[in-house]
């Protein structure tokens, strides 16, 4: 959201093979990711009904810095993701030393899930309030922390140290980390609706959904023929050297509302994730009607990747500039849209109330475009709707700034 962020800080992530869902670029931060090896594999961690989570291969995660070239003095904060990697990172003295330097300098440190194993190895949790995945409790107690019993979304801040249990807590985890960096997030609440379906792309629903929650939005997720509390399985799409992307099972995503109970007037914006779901949702007349309603009242609509298959089927692309995953170009053109090449793949575009993106690498830009559009809607409403009984449509700006 260029023009609305109020600080530019650098933060680093210690990464290894097997980190959980990645935090994308947020809040104007410049993120660097480091690891001793040149490649990183991200593991998808899913809960089951047994004693622990299941584990399957997730997205490949590209690093953008070299660990041995990192200087703690060049950064304002450190993030340590969870997963399997911390078990091994905690035994690497160069990693442990780096964490100690961040702690000794009083800089913000945010660690989630099993990442706290690295904190314990660095001896930085003594007499500090701390939570983590329950399996890490014995190690943290032995390291002298004040243990906080966790729920899945529990997050704890103790001065410059932020700890969390699992990816369910990402929205609060991000908010607390921004606070530890000296920033704040504020703005009036906006209601955002996600149009979901089975095997939508994992990142393309999870990352925007949780990021918008972190920005203070009230976010609902619905799917035709499913109720609040039901699950939509997701798919992980990645490029691994073949002519097209590979597809693997992703996280289970929990819906928050019933599809039949929502309407365009009750929300400030609509988000359509990509993946496999849109090709089937585009055949559902009730889905088509909902999308048309949002476009008719000029509410912001943000669609990414294959989500534009639904926009094309709804007939709302006529004359609109639009991008999408390249394989969806035919849908866009036949739907009357003006095709914009997604080059590079993270490019996103806004045309009126419509935001389109090509794929999940563009999430930072995708969310920034949507938030900027919500701000513009709010300005328009302030000028034209003063005195009207439409307060539920008022959208506040979301800003981060240094204290």
Interstrand relation of 354-357 and 348-351 (parallel, antiparallel or unpaired): antiparallel
Strands (E), 286-337: 301-304, 321-322
- Is 322 noted as a catalytic residue in this protein? no
Of 306, 322, 348, 363, the active-site residue reads 306
For the chain, the distance separating the N- and C-terminal CA atoms, rounded to the nearest angstrom, is: 19
Distance CA(268)–CA(260), nearest Å, equals 18
Would you call 305 a catalytic residue per the annotation?
Answer: yes
User: At a CB cut-off of 8 Å and minimum separation 6, what does 182 contact?
Assistant: 7, 402, 403
For 132-285, list the strands marked E by DSSP.
146-147, 155-158, 161-164, 183-186, 191-195, 200-201, 218-222, 231-238, 246-254, 269-272
At residue 269's C-alpha, the angle toward residues 367 and 378, to 5°, is: 90
CA–centroid distance for 360 within its chain:
10
Secondary structure (3-state) at 198: coil
Which residue shows structure tokens 């969390």? Answer: 164
- In this structure, the number of other CB atoms found within 10 A of the CB of residue 347 comes to 18
Phi, psi of 81 (to 5 degrees): -70, 170
Decide if 306 is catalytic: yes
Query: What's the helix, strand, coil split of the chain in %, to 5?
Result: 35, 25, 40
Closest CA to 380 of 267, 298, 296: 298
Of 114, 237, 251, 369, the active-site residue reads 114
Alpha carbons 45 and 234: distance in angstroms, whole number: 12
Residue among 305, 322, 348, 395 flagged as catalytic? 305
Is the distance from CB of 96 to CB of 118 less than 8 angstroms?
A: yes
Hey, which residues are catalytic here? 113-114, 305-306
């Amino acid at each position: 959201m260029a023009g609305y962020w109020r600080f530019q800080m650098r933060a680093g992530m210690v990464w290894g093979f097997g980190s959980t869902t990645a935090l994308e670029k947020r809040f104007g931060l410049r993120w660097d990711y480091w690891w001793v090896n040149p490649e990183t594999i991200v593991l998808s961690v899913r809960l089951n009904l047994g004693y622990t989570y299941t584990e399957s291969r997730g997205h490949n995660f590209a690093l953008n810095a070299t660990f041995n070239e990192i200087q703690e003095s060049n950064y304002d904060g450190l993030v340590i993701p969870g997963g399997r990697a911390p078990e091994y990172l905690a035994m690497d003295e160069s990693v442990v030393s780096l964490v100690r330097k961040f702690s000794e300098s009083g800089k913000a440190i945010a660690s989630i899930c099993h990442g706290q194993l690295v904190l314990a190895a660095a001896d930085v949790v003594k007499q500090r309030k701390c939570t983590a995945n329950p399996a890490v409790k014995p190690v943290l107690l032995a390291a002298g922390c004040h243990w906080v019993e966790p729920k899945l979304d529990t997050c704890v801040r103790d001065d410059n140290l932020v700890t969390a249990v699992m990816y369910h807590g990402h929205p609060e985890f991000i908010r607390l980390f921004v606070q530890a960096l000296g920033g704040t997030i504020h703005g009036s609440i906006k209601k955002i609706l996600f149009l979901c379906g089975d095997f939508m792309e994992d990142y393309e629903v999870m990352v925007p959904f949780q990021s918008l929650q972190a920005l203070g939005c009230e976010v609902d997720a619905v799917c035709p023929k499913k109720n609040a509390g039901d699950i939509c399985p997701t798919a992980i799409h990645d490029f691994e050297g073949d002519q097209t992307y590979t597809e693997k099972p992703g996280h289970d995503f929990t819906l928050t509302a019933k599809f039949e109970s929502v309407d365009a007037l009750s929300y400030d914006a609509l988000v359509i994730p990509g993946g496999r779901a849109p090709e089937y949702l585009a055949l559902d007349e009730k889905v088509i009607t909902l999308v048309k309603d949002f476009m008719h009242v000029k509410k912001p609509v943000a669609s990414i990747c294959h989500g534009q298959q639904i926009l094309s089927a709804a007939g709302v692309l006529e004359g609109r500039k639009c991008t999408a995953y390249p394989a969806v170009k035919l849908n866009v053109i036949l739907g009357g849209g003006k095709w914009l090449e997604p080059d590079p793949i993270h490019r996103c575009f806004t045309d009126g109330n419509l935001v389109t993106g090509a794929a999940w690498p563009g999430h930072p830009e995708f969310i920034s475009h949507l938030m900027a559009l919500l701000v513009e809607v709010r300005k328009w409403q302030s000028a034209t709707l003063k005195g009207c009984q439409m307060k539920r449509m008022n959208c506040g700006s979301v800003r981060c700034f240094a204290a």
